[in-house]
Amino acid sequence: MTGSLSLTMPSDLEVVMTREFNAPRHLVFDALTKPEHIRRWWGLHEDTMTVCDVDLRVGGKWRYATQSPDGSEVAFSGVFREIVPPDRLVHTEGYEAMPGTEYVVTTTLTEVNGKTTLRSHLLYQAKEHRDGHVASGMEYGANESYDRLEAVLQKLQSPA
């Protein structure tokens, strides 16, 4: 894979994740926003995505749900606030099992020499929400998802 995830916590309410992908920005943006691509990379490899709804417009909602091999389900959802293809995407995100803990995700994509750096800035309502998310295994899950995203991006660039 191209690189590993960098995770920092610049304040008590923030997490910043950065990862470089060996793909042009427009493809990364498509893979982040189109259900046919999201289904192939989002979540842990052993889980099955059961819901992948994306209404990609300002004010539009999104929802992803996965089922693990033991049958348990998890779901995340939010609302798009800003969409600037292929540069920037801003949306809320919340773990549905914990209402009231939503955070704002600002994703920026920067391309240099055909490689794209994804920077995801998460802004939480409370330090406890941020700390709980980080302690839940978020970094492991993000790393695995982004490794899967890199593989999807490589397939999208391969000649048919």
- Backbone φ and ψ of 117, nearest 5°: -95, 120
Q: Could you tell me the residue ranges of all domains in the chain?
A: 6-157
17 contacts 6 by C-beta, under 8 angstroms:
yes
Please, what is the Cα angle at 34 between 30 and 40, to 5 degrees?
95
> For the domain bounded by 6-157, which CATH number is listed?
3.30.530.20
Given a cut of 90, whether residue 1 has pLDDT beyond it is: no
Query: Going edge to edge, which strands form the sheet with 115-123?
Result: 6-8, 14-21, 115-123, 103-112, 88-95, 73-84, 61-67, 48-54
pTM > 0.85: yes or no: yes
**Cβ atoms within 10 A of the Cβ of 27, count?**
20
Dist. CA 131–CA 112, nearest whole Å: 33
Please, what is the Cα angle at 14 between 13 and 18, to 5 degrees?
170
User: How does pLDDT run across 56-113, given as a tens digit for each residue?
Assistant: 999 999 999 999 999 999 999 999 999 999 999 999 999 999 999 999 999 999 999 9
Given a cut of 80, whether residue 160 has pLDDT beyond it is: no
pLDDT band at 25 (very low <50, low <70, confident <90, very high): very high
